[in-house]
Amino acid sequence: MVLLHPADPNVALAEARLLTMDMAGADSNFAIAIGRLGVRSGWISRVGADPLGDFVLAAIGGEGVDVSQVKRDPHPTGVFFKHRDPASSTTQVLYYRQGSAASHLSPDDLDPNYLAGALLVHLNGMTCALSVGCAAAAMTAFELAPPGSIRSLDLNLRLQLWDVARARDALSPLIRKADVLLGTVEEFEAFFESDVAGEAMVAAAAMGPTTVVAKRGSRGAIGLIGGVPVSHPGFVPPKVVDEVGAGDGFDAGFLTALLEGCSPQTALRWANLVGASSVSVPGDIQGYPTRVQLEERLATWPENEAFTS
């Protein structure tokens, strides 16, 4: 998608007269973040046959992500706005993507030969919120994932786009096929109708995933990996500027470590570091570290001592 946000991050959207245009979106954010960590990545989607589609393809491809499987579509490229709410000091997002090019993704857009060589197929729950065709394409992607590959899903409920009941209907079949399930503590509690994150994660694991991880922002993350509870504190970035995109970076750090055969603790540590790096600068993708930066910050950034399991 195309992202528009006030050029001055201290100005509310309603008062802004100058906007900056960037590229963002959960799936492409992930592809860029994991690519910076040294993993070859590709992005499958649809963008409009319009100047905004040109911009998105150039931006994502310019990051080294393979965009050969992205189709051009007569419908418009999706747009969203992001701004810092002065009252709450939180980042607010407004989506304008109903009927967008990406919402017309279908199983026919997936090339079995392309996916046959994948070591990891990563999906995002928000994709399924866009249309029935998108949900079907997501299921097809998991079905085409080759034996031995990792199938991962981030709940990413985005309740601006649908309600929990619809999300549960659409995502439950994917959860049953997933090896790895990620989400925030709040998403797990809402999706699995539990006020206790641990209970929600047990319910998630009972559906099939052997690795379940709940993100806790600055407090780090907790996981249930092979039935064993794990946790790790978050990192303290130099400053917090923009939280959007941190979850996608977290996923990239965690899954990179899994692909390299690292321990669960190391995977959580990498994930927390990439997420913390993301929030330290404006923009969804600008803060994602390279592999060299990851290793430097693992050695120098402090962990959050306020973390409690």
Catalytic machinery residues: 248
d(CA 168, CA 155): 10
CB–CB of 1/79 below 8 Å? yes
How is residue 15 written in tokens?
């008062």
- CA trace torsion 263, 269, 273, 275 (10° rounding): 90
CB–CB of 118/145 below 8 Å? yes
d(CA 152, CA 271): 14
d(CA 272, CA 232): 8
Contacts for 189-192: CB closer than 8 Å, 24+ residues apart:
190/157, 190/164, 191/155, 191/157, 191/164, 191/167
d(CA 121, CA 85): 35
Nearest residue to 45 via CA among 113, 154, 131, 116:
131
Beta carbons within 8 Å of 178's beta carbon, 6+ residues apart: 142, 151, 152, 153, 208, 209
How is residue 123 written in tokens?
């999906």
How is residue 116 written in tokens?
């046959």
Contacts for 88-96: CB closer than 8 Å, 24+ residues apart:
90/243, 91/242, 91/243, 91/244, 92/13, 93/160, 93/244, 94/13, 95/158, 95/160, 95/161
Angle at 83 between CA 78 and CA 89, to 5 degrees: 145
d(CA 213, CA 194): 16
